[in-house]
Structure 1
Amino acid sequence: MDIASERLIVDAIGAAWPDDAVQAEEGHGHAGASGWTWVVDPLDGTRNYISRTGPWSVCIALYHQDRARMAVVHEPVAGETFSAVDGGGALLNGEPLAVTGGPSLERALVGVSFQPNPATKARAGRVIRELLPLVGDIRRVPAALNLVYQAAGRLDGGLALDTNLWDIAAGALVAREAGVVLGGHGPDFSTELTIGAAPLLWPALSEQVRATA
């Protein structure tokens, strides 16, 4: 299903915008000459999809040079489409999204996302061991949904470890446009570490995660 989904998306992009580049998880990407790049995750949350134990989504982001300009995260089972335009705000099924200040750390619901390889699971275990006693609770969710759920106020903050660009590109733009504060070990988030939080939660959550991740 990953491969079939990606082929549908990449073929459609190629037919409409043949000069654009595509970066896609399952290897169907190609170079381009226009300066625009589509970043595609055809199925984020594959294990959830296979086991039917949690949410999954289809994620597409459009970059111009090195900046995300548009993004969509579609969750088919829930019938929800999160979208954003750079500088134009974020939407859920066409309705605007905007985060509030957020709770204190001890009341926060925090999403956690990580790649399921041994090294990253060990790293995630260390972070969760230190973080869980300090927050209200933790949920493990796929990286893109972690970010858009923050945009929708369902999670107060979150972190993602050792992702790929296609895992976080679309969700990060939606979160940013909704007012979620994003960062990593520095002021910019990265595939190695992405932290997101509502504005008032950001100082405490980012400090704690940076100290252990």
Structure 2
Amino acid sequence: MERDLSGVRELASDLAVRAGRLQLERRDTLRVGAPKAHANDVVSDVDIASERLIVDAVHAAWPDDAMLAEEGNGRRGTSGWNWVIDPLDGTRNYISRTGPWSVCIALYHGDEPRMAVVHEPVANETFSAIAGGGAFLNGEPLRVAGGPPLEKALVGVSFQPNPATKERAARVIRQLLPVSGDIRRLPAALNLVYLAAGRLDGGLALDTNLWDIAAGALVAREAGVTLGGHGTDFTPELTIGAAPELWPALSELVRSAA
């Protein structure tokens, strides 16, 4: 069954903004819980409250849809539509006040991403996309340019901070940093949407989860960013994005190092 994706995006954008507002309001009173998968995999009560806000509203609107949500509020569905939700991508930045974070909501039909929203609360920026309909920032269209050569490129780097992935990231950075213009470490979703906005020329993400990259990847692709991984498409294990002219050099280096 088809769905009014423009209306879906409007609701998802509103929910992301509301979750972001909650995160700003509760930042001074947040409580950090026990780590999840490893010592650096932190979660706060604000992550959980933000997810509940989004999940409850989506379930009320489309009770037959499935959900994959980072903090455990997923459910099976029967409609063929699946929501992928990261209520607070960049929790360590949020808790420590050392960098940006975002609210991420994506909608799939089967295996195909159809709609995406990434909201950055501090800057009040909402990136969004509908498959085949382009990418937008606060309603204005985004289209990536060709990109500089690698030696002048600004490249975003995202990775899970578990011991094995940090070793893998170190190998990539060791190869990338001397030959690129510079690098920035960012949460995965913002890495991808900043590519779409032309703030970064290239980006890579290592060992993420689908909820980290689903929304940002659709925004990036709809803006004309070239995406891939070890094969012809990106995966949570390895996601590489770049402006088209930068793609061959960056993807070759990252694939060999990763």
Q: TM-score, normalised by structure 2?
A: 0.82
CA deviations on 1:79-125 (whole Å, 9 max, x unpaired) are: 00000000000000000000000000000000000001000001000
State the distance in 1 between where 2:69 and 2:123 align: 24
**Residue matched to 2:72:** 27
**Residue matched to 2:123:** 78
State the distance in 1 between where 2:99 and 2:174 align: 23
CA deviations on 1:149-199 (whole Å, 9 max, x unpaired) are: 000000000000000000000000000000000000011000000000000
**Residue matched to 1:206:** 251
What amino acid maps onto 1:151 in structure 2?
A
**Residue matched to 1:8:** 53
Q: Give runs of aligned pairs for residues 100-115 of structure 1, distance below 5 A.
A: 100-115=145-160
**Residue matched to 1:53:** 98
Determine if the alignment matches structure 1 residue 120 to structure 2 residue 120: no
State the distance in 1 between where 2:164 and 2:48 align: 26
SS of the aligned residue for 2:214 comes to helix
Query: Deviation of residue 3 (structure 1)?
Result: 0.4
State the distance in 1 between where 2:133 and 2:227 align: 17
State the distance in 2 between where 1:152 and 1:170 align: 14
**Residue matched to 1:66:** 111
What amino acid maps onto 2:77 in structure 1?
G
Percent identity reads 83
5+ residue gaps, structure 1: none
What amino acid maps onto 1:176 in structure 2?
R
5+ residue gaps, structure 2: 1-45
Q: Give runs of aligned pairs for residues 175-190 of structure 1, distance below 5 A.
A: 175-190=220-235
Q: Please report the RMSD computed on the Cα atoms of aligned residues, expressed in angstroms.
A: 0.3
Q: Which has the higher strand share?
A: 1
Moved over 2 A (4+): none
**Residue matched to 2:89:** 44
Query: Deviation of residue 30 (structure 1)?
Result: 0.2
Alignment counterpart, residue 236 of structure 2, candidates 191, 194, 202: 191
State the distance in 1 between where 2:161 and 2:58 align: 30
State the distance in 2 between where 1:90 and 1:130 align: 32
Q: Is the radius of gyration larger for structure 1 or structure 2?
A: 2
Determine if the alignment matches structure 1 residue 130 to structure 2 residue 179: no
**Residue matched to 2:135:** 90
SS of the aligned residue for 1:41 comes to strand
